[in-house]
Amino acid sequence: MAYSRPYNLRKTCLILLLYFGVSTASQAQHIWIDPRVDSRVTVTDNALLTLKDRQSDAVFNVSPGLNVRIQGGRTRGSIDYNLDYLYYASDGGTEVRQSLFGTLDSEVWKDHLTLGARASVQQQFLDQRGSLSNNFANRTSNRRLLQTYTGSAILKGGMRDFADWRVNYRYGISKTPADNLNDETLTVNFSDTTSHELNASIGSGERFNYVSWRVFANSRRVIRSLDVNDFRTEKVSAELTYKFNRFIAVTGSVNVSSNDFQSATLSQEGFGWEAGFRWTPGRKLDISLSTGREGKREIWYAALQYFFSARVVFNGNYQDLITANTLVTNNNIQSFRSDPTGGLIDGQGRPVDEVDPRFSYSDVDFRRRVAQGNFTWRHKRTEVSFGGNAEWRTFDNESGTAASWGLSGRFKHKMDRHTTLSGRISYLRSSFEGSTRVDNYIQASLDWTKTISRQFKAVIGYKHSDRQSNEPGADLEENSLTFYIRGTF
């Protein structure tokens, strides 16, 4: 059974619900409370996610859940909570899992102060080298409960039309059983963390037309529970932008940065620079590109957005930064949100799964270079998206660089008013730092959804996952078929 800390979850739920109650009573204009119950049966040919001697099983799952949303003049929030009870027919084993995702944004002082909060309690795979699957019903010690909570404040204002200023602070807490060094069932160990992220800037106001300026500073810290190095990075920068016309602008900046990295190639101490441009030839195209140097690193940033039509959009970007696992997670949950059906989706409306472990969790800081692109097409009752991404992480412990790149495709088609067919296929290729191991990981799923009535819907789903590795004994495969009925009350 996966290890969890239910008391942390209950305490957090009570705090969030209390805040929601106060906000609702004072500001909320609309409140939606949607209880639900899922009854699910899953048949899998690899219930324990073993590399060999696969064991088939039938898994019965009852899952009560609650989705609460509020919307007021200045306050918006949501909480989605699930409690999963799983019963394994092969040996009579049981397992209880919890998940929660919550958001809260409130404009406390109009046009000046905004407060926000995020809470994420989800089952996650810890080690990319361990057992993986896109089926929720199987059992593995590589899947554990990870908790992430953040609170943020944004304070902004202006000095007439001469300057605008902004201060943004985010506090984060992450909890995990992986910091228990005495638990021999854990596949990896890493710390509980507390994080502080502060960004402050002042820039030119409306008075400046063709020439604008900005001065900003940021500080990021991650404090870890285990006896390992903490994360620290600080930067002060001054930026100048010249706009030739409404189509093209050039930007240049100088900076002073510092961090506590051990690696000579990743350490940042002293001056740096950056230069780039932004080109917007029309309403359809927006391109930004810049290059520079921080410490001994040459850096690049790029962003591209192109509207082929109202139904066809492409987004792409590339970035290079020094960071830590905690900060990556904080950024991810900031863009996530829960939709009314109880699912978790990212900033582009795509479902968020626990099954996208591109890298293992650890306490080692790293340089992160990531490129991604997404193409979306919508037409009448059909939506199709294709995505590609590549990421390189160079670690601070001299273990080398790990890399992953992949392609994925999704579709969703409404066959009629009550029936939807959706599917996903993805390919991920991973190479690991400090070894010659290379994994090729393929996932596919197909779901048929039927709305039976206003309160009930039925789903039949098939999932397949297959890992092919050049390391002997690391191949892994699973097929599963799931049938479930959801009742919303």
pLDDT band of residue 57 (cuts 50, 70, 90) is very high
Closest CA to 262 of 363, 392, 358, 175: 363
- Average pLDDT, integer, range 277-285: 90
* Residue 233, token pair as written in the block: 């990075």
Max mean pLDDT among 68-72, 85-89, 266-270 falls in: 85-89
A 10 A CB-CB count for 347 gives 11
* Residue 228, token pair as written in the block: 């390992």
Assigned CATH for 6-109+124-144+177-190+244-488: 2.40.160
Query: According to the model, what pLDDT value does residue 27 have?
Result: 55
Half-sphere exposure of residue 416: CA atoms within 13 angstroms, side-chain side? 4
Beta strands in 89-162 (DSSP E): 94-109, 113-125, 143-159
In this structure, the strands spanning 211-224 and 231-243 are antiparallel
d(CA 67, CA 70): 10
Does the pLDDT of residue 341 top 70, yes or no? no
205 SS3 class: coil
Largest CA-CA distance found in the chain, in angstroms, rounded: 73
* Residue 243, token pair as written in the block: 């706009």
- Residue ranges covered by each domain of the chain: 6-109+124-144+177-190+244-488
Does the pLDDT of residue 60 top 80, yes or no? yes
pLDDT in tens, 183-194: 999 989 999 999
pTM given for the model: 0.87
- Average pLDDT, integer, range 254-280: 92
- Average pLDDT, integer, range 372-401: 90
Question: How far from 441 is each of 38, 84, 309, 350, CA to CA, in Å?
Answer: 29, 27, 34, 20
pLDDT in tens, 440-485: 999 999 999 999 998 899 999 999 999 999 999 899 999 999 999 9
Closest CA to 119 of 102, 143, 135: 102
Query: According to the model, what pLDDT value does residue 351 have?
Result: 61
Q: Which residue has the higher pLDDT, 6 or 397?
A: 397
Question: How far from 338 is each of 15, 21, 92, 173, 317, CA to CA, in Å?
Answer: 19, 19, 33, 21, 24
- Average pLDDT, integer, range 223-243: 95
The mean pLDDT of the chain is 88
pLDDT band of residue 347 (cuts 50, 70, 90) is low
* Residue 256, token pair as written in the block: 């002073």
Query: According to the model, what pLDDT value does residue 15 have?
Result: 53
Does the pLDDT of residue 344 top 90, yes or no? no
Residue positions counted in the chain: 489
Query: According to the model, what pLDDT value does residue 259 have?
Result: 92
- Average pLDDT, integer, range 301-323: 88
pLDDT band of residue 2 (cuts 50, 70, 90) is very low
Query: According to the model, what pLDDT value does residue 149 have?
Result: 95
d(CA 343, CA 148): 18
Beta strands in 327-455 (DSSP E): 337-338, 344-345, 366-379, 382-395, 401-414, 419-431, 438-451
